[in-house]
A and B are shown apart, each in its own frame.
Chain A
Amino acid sequence: MPENLFNRRSFLTIGGASVATVGSGLLVPARAKGLDPTPTMRGGANNYRPGAPVVSRIGGGGFWMTGTVRRAGDGAPLGGQRIQIWAHTTEGHERDKRSHGATLTDASGEFRLEMPQIVPAFGQAHGHLAYDSGDFETVFLRPVMRSSKDTSLRVHFVLKPA
C-alpha cells in the first residue's frame, strides 16, 4: 500500500480527466429533449406596463415587429398567445402609454405588429417584448437591432408551461 494516495502523477491524471469531463459537457444534467425555453433577458422588463391592449397597429406604423411563439420541448407552434411590445420610437418614449401595444399569434405561432420606427435610446436601438399571460412562464425580451436603420425586428419565444 503506498503511503500517499495522491502522488504527482495520479494528481495530474485525475485533474486532467476532470477537466476533460467538464469541458466535454459530460457533466451537464440530462436535458428534456428538444427545444429549451427562452430565458428572460436582462433589462427586458424595463418600462413594462402590464395589460397593454391588443391593437391592430401601434401609432402610425412603418416598422414591423415579427416573430414566433413555440412550446419548449416539442417546439409546437402556440396560437392565440398574447405578446406585448413596447419601445422608444419616433412617436414616443418607452414609458409612454402610446408606445405600448399587444398582438396575438396566429395558428402557426407567428405574430406581426406594425409600430413606429424604433430609434436608439440609452445607447442602443432596441425593442421590448413580453409574454405575461400566465399559461406559460413569463418571459421578457430586449432584442437589440443590428442597425438602427433596420425597419423590422424578428424575435422568437419558446415558452415553458407554468
Chain B
Amino acid sequence: MSLTGKIVFWSALCAVLMGTFYEAATSSLLAWRQPVYIVAGFAGIAAMVFLLCQPLLIKGYVPDLPNAQARKIHRWFGGGLVVAIVLHVAGLWVTSPPDVVDALLFRSPTPFSVWGVLAMWAVFAAACVAVLRRRIGPRLWRVLHMILVTIVVGGSVVHAMRIEGSMGMTSKVILCGLVLGALIKTLVDFRGWRVMPRRRP
C-alpha cells in the first residue's frame, strides 16, 4: 500500500472510532443513566467497532500487518467481541431485569431487541465454530463462520439503527454503513461456498 493509502486508512479509521465514541460520550442521555447502564451502552458500541475491525483484519486490509499477525488479532478481537456482548447484556440486566428477560425470551415489545438477541447467539455460535474449527474441517468451518457473521452483522445493524439511545445518529449511520460495507465486500470475495470437495471428472 502506498504511503497515501496508509495515511488515508489510518486517519479514516481513527476518525470513525473517535467520532463514534465522542458523540456517545457527549450524549445528553448520559446525565440520566446509572454508571452500569452507561457501561452497557459503551460495551455495545465497542462490539460494533469490533465488527468493523474483524473483516479488515482477516481480509488483510490493515497496512503493514502480516497475515499471520492479522489472524492472531482477529482471534483476540473475536474474544473481545464476545466479552463486549456479555458486558452489554449483563449491564442491561442489572439496569432493568424484566426488560432483558423479555428480550432474551423473544417477547419484548421493542422491535430491535429480537435482532440484538439473534446477533448475540450468532456471535456465540461463530466463536464456538472458530474454537472448534480443527474438528469441523476447513471447508465447513469457513462456510459456517461466514453465514454466522452475516447474521451477526445484519442483526446488529438493524438492532442499532432502530434504537434511540447510546449512539449518536451521525456516527451510528457511518459506523453501521462501514460495517455493512465490509461484510458485503467479504461476502462478494468469499470463495469457500463449496463445502464438499469438487468431484474429479
> Are A120 and B99 neighbours in the complex by a CB distance under 8 Å?
no
- Mark out the residues of chain A between 110 and 136 whose CB falls within 8 Å of any chain B CB in the assembled complex: 119-125
The verdict on A89 contacting chain B, using a C-beta distance below 8 Å, is: yes
> Are A42 and B95 neighbours in the complex by a CB distance under 8 Å?
no
The verdict on B108 contacting chain A, using a C-beta distance below 8 Å, is: yes
CB distance from A118 to the nearest CB of B (A): 10
Q: What residues on B are CB-neighbors of A125 within 8 Å?
A: 164
Q: What residues on A are CB-neighbors of B163 within 8 Å?
A: 123-124
> Are B112 and A123 neighbours in the complex by a CB distance under 8 Å?
yes
Q: How does the 8 Å CB contact mask read for B106-126 relative to A, with 1 for contact and 0 for none?
A: 011110110000000000000
> Are B109 and A90 neighbours in the complex by a CB distance under 8 Å?
no
Q: What residues on A are CB-neighbors of B99 within 8 Å?
A: 43, 46-47, 122
Tell me the bound Cα distance from A67 to B199 in angstroms: 70
Chain B residue nearest in CB terms to A94:
B96
- Mark out the residues of chain A between 36 and 66 whose CB falls within 8 Å of any chain B CB in the assembled complex: 41-47
A120 and B165 in contact, given A47-B96, A93-B34 (Cβ under 8 angstroms): yes
Give the secondary structure class of B's interface. loop
> Are B113 and A123 neighbours in the complex by a CB distance under 8 Å?
yes
Q: What residues on B are CB-neighbors of A93 within 8 Å?
A: 34, 95-96
> Are A123 and B32 neighbours in the complex by a CB distance under 8 Å?
no
Partner of B32 from A41, A90, A142 at Cβ < 8 Å: A90
Tell me the bound Cα distance from A142 to B99 in angstroms: 12
A88 and B32 in contact, given A46-B99, A123-B163 (Cβ under 8 angstroms): yes
A43 and B109 in contact, given A89-B32, A123-B163, A123-B164 (Cβ under 8 angstroms): yes
Chain B residue nearest in CB terms to A116:
B32
Tell me the bound Cα distance from A47 to B81 in angstroms: 30
The verdict on A97 contacting chain B, using a C-beta distance below 8 Å, is: no
A95 and B96 in contact, given A122-B110, A123-B112, A123-B165 (Cβ under 8 angstroms): yes
Chain B residue nearest in CB terms to A122:
B99
Chain A, interface size category, equals 20 to 34
- Mark out the residues of chain B between 3 and 47 whose CB falls within 8 Å of any chain A CB in the assembled complex: 29, 31-32, 34
> Are A46 and B96 neighbours in the complex by a CB distance under 8 Å?
yes
The verdict on B185 contacting chain A, using a C-beta distance below 8 Å, is: no
Q: What residues on B are CB-neighbors of A121 within 8 Å?
A: 96, 165
The verdict on B92 contacting chain A, using a C-beta distance below 8 Å, is: yes
Q: What residues on B are CB-neighbors of A42 within 8 Å?
A: 102, 107-109
Tell me the bound Cα distance from A122 to B110 in angstroms: 8
Extra contacts besides A43-B110, A46-B96 (7): CB < 8 Å: A42-B102, A43-B102, A89-B32, A90-B31, A93-B96, A121-B96, A123-B163
